[in-house]
Amino acid sequence: MTVESALRGAAPHLLLDSLRTSLAQQYAASSADLLLIDYGFTSLRPVQARAGVRPAPVDAGTAGRVFRTQQPYLFRADGLTATVFLPVTVRGDRLGVLVVLLPGDRATDATVQSLGRVAETLGHALCVADRHTDLYRSTRRTHALTLAGEMQSDTLAGRACTGPAFDLHAHWEPAYGSGGHLLDWSVTEDELQVVVADGAGPGIPAALVSTLALNAIRNARRAGLDLVGQASLTDQALYGQHRGTSPLAALLMRLDLATGATEVVDAGSPTLWRTRGTTTERIALDRQLPLGMFEDTVYATQRLHLLPGDRCVFVARDPGGPRPGGAGTVPDRAVARAVTRAARLGCADVPRAVVRTLRKPPGDLPDAALVVCLDWHGTADGRPEPPASEG
C-alpha cells in the first residue's frame, strides 16, 4: 500500500499513526513527527508527540528554518542515521514541518524528493481530516482562543493561497482573539477575487458582523454577481440586521490573471499600497461609504492595472478607538516605511514583518490588525502585457 493510500484510508485522528507505519515499511524510518504552526506563527507544535519532542520556535532552529524557507533539509548526525525536515504546505498555506528519522544509507537525494511528495500528500490529508477532528486545531494552540477568536478562525479562508500567476499571504493579530477582520478569496483559471475588511471592534459583536458580511459576500460571489453586486448585497444584509449601527469598511478586488486588469470597490476600505520596482506608494482610491452604513447605497468600481512583478499590500486595522499618541489610524508614512523595509522579503514573510514593524515604538498600529500581501507575477503563457493605465 502506498503512503497516499494509507493516508486516505486512515481515520482523521490517526493520520500520523498511519504515516509512521507506512514510512517504516517503505523507507525504514524509525520515527516521524509532525510539527504544526501555532495560530500566532511563533512556534511549531508536535502532534501526538513522542517523549522528548518539544515545540520548536519559528525564528530559530532547523525546523523553523525549513518552515520559513520552504526548503527540505537533510541532517546527518553520524553515519548511522539521518534526519529529514520537510515543509508541509498546501497551495502556499504553510501548515508545518514533517521530521523523519532514517537509516544513514537510505538518506539519499532521491529519498528526500520522495519524502517531499509524502509531505505534500500529508498536507492535503490534513486539510480534509481537519473537518472531522479537533486534534490538529487543538495542537496549534499555545493557549486558549477567545470565543470571538474561535469564530473568526473558523470563518476566514486561511492565511495563504498561491497559483502560477500570483502569491497571496496574510497575517493578523491578535492571533488568539478577534478584531472582527474579514479576509476571503476565490481563484479560477482566469481571475482572483479578494476581499479585505477593517476590524469591526473586539469581541463577539464584531465577530458576528464580520461573519454575516463574509457569508453575504460569498453568497453573492457564488451566485455570479460582480463586485458591485457583492458589495450591494452585503451592504443590504448588514443594514437590514444592524440598521447602520455596525458598518464595515471593506475593499473588494478582482484581478484578471492573464492581463493584470484590476477592478476595485472601495467601501471605506483598508489602505492599499503598491510596490513597483523600487517605489512604494499608496494607491489613491475613490473611497465610498462602508458596507451597511445606509440603506441602498450605490457602489461603483475603479479600474487599475498591475504590471508583472507588482506587489500589493493591504493594511486593515480596528478603527474602534484612539490610542495614546494617535487617533486609532495608521499614519501613511509609518505604513510606507514598513512596506518598504519588507520589500526584499518573499511574499509569505511580508505580512508578519509589516505588522511587527508597525507595532514597534513609535508605531501607531491598533491592537487588532490584518496585513495581506499579493504578488502578481504576470502571465504564464508569454503573451505581451497591455500598456498600463489607471483611472
Q: Give the CATH number, domain containing residue 158.
A: 3.60.40.10
Query: How much is the pLDDT for 345?
Result: 94
Regarding beta strands 160-163 and 166-173, do their DSSP bridges make them parallel or antiparallel, or are they unpaired?
A: antiparallel
- What the block records as the C-alpha cell of 346 is 518573499
Give the per-residue pLDDT at 367: 67
Task: Say whether both 284 and 312 belong to one domain.
Answer: yes
| pLDDT confidence of residue 35 | 98
Domain shared by 93 and 205, yes or no? no
pLDDT band at 347 (very low <50, low <70, confident <90, very high): very high
pLDDT at 385 (0 to 100): 44
Q: Tell me: the pLDDT tens digits for 316-338?
A: 976 554 333 333 455 788 888 99
Q: What proportion of the chain, given as a percentage, has pLDDT over 90?
A: 76
pLDDT at 2: 87
Place of cell 515604538: 361
Q: CA 344, 347, 351, 354: dihedral to nearest 10 degrees?
A: 10
Beta bridge partners of 314: 272, 372
Same domain for 134 and 153: no
- Can you give the pLDDT at residue 361? 64
The pLDDT of residue 140: 96
Domain assignment present for residue 387? The answer is no
- Whether residues 177 and 118 share a domain: the answer is no
| DSSP H helices in the chain | 3-9, 15-27, 61-69, 109-129, 135-139, 147-155, 203-222, 227-242, 332-341, 350-359
Handedness of CA 19, 20, 21, 27 (dihedral sign): positive
For residue 173, the tally of other CB atoms under 10 A from its CB is 21
Over residues 136-181, the pLDDT tens digits come to 999 999 999 999 999 988 888 889 999 999 999 999 988 898 878 8
Residues 6+ apart with CB under 8 A from 101: 29, 30, 31, 32, 81, 82, 83
**DSSP letter assigned to residue 52:** T
Which residue in the block uniquely carries the three cell numbers 450605490? 298
> Which of 85, 105, 139 marks a domain boundary?
139
- In a domain, residue 21? The reply is yes
How many distinct structural domains can be found in the chain?
2
Distinct helix (H) and strand (E) counts, the chain: 10, 17
Output the average pLDDT for the chain.
Answer: 89
Residues 103 and 252 in one domain: no
Q: What is the pLDDT of residue 177?
A: 87
CB 129 within 8 A of CB 9: no
Same-domain status, 251 and 285: yes
Q: Which of 296, 291, 276 is nearest to 340 (CA)?
A: 276
The whole-number pLDDT of residue 362 equals: 53
Residue 384 lies in a domain: no
Same domain for 57 and 112, yes or no, is: yes
Same-domain pairing of 104 and 173: no
Q: Specify the CATH number for the domain of residue 108.
A: 3.30.450.40
Does some domain include residue 363? yes
Same domain? 97 vs 197: no
Which comes out higher in pLDDT, residue 150 or 386?
A: 150
**Residue-level pLDDT at 318:** 65
- In the three-class reduction of DSSP (H, G, I as helix; E, B as strand; rest coil), residue 202 is classed as coil
| Domain shared by 186 and 211, yes or no | yes
Of 122, 139, 156, the residue that ends a domain is: 139
Are residues 208 and 59 part of one domain? no
Residue 382 lies in a domain: no
Question: CA-CA distance, 158 to 169, in Å (whole number)?
Answer: 9
- Give the pLDDT of residue 343: 92
Global pTM reads 0.90
The CA-based dihedral angle spanning residues 264, 267, 270, 271, taken in that order and rounded to the nearest 10 degrees = 60
Phi/psi region, residue 52 (left: phi>0; alpha: psi -120 to 50; beta: rest), is: left
In a domain, 383, yes or no: no
Say what the pLDDT of residue 201 is. 75
Has residue 340 been placed in a domain?
yes
Residue 178 domain-assigned?
A: yes
- Give the pLDDT of residue 138: 95
Per residue in 63-107, pLDDT (tens digit) is: 999 999 999 999 997 879 999 999 999 999 999 999 999 999 999
pLDDT in tens, 202-246: 789 999 999 999 999 999 999 999 999 999 999 999 999 999 999
Range of the domain at 130: 3-139
Q: For residue 86, what is the enclosing H or E element?
A: strand 81-90
C-alpha to C-alpha distances, 127 to 42, 83, 130, 274, 320, nearest whole angstrom:
21, 25, 5, 32, 34
Q: Where does a domain end: 86, 120, 139?
A: 139
14 and 48 share one domain: yes
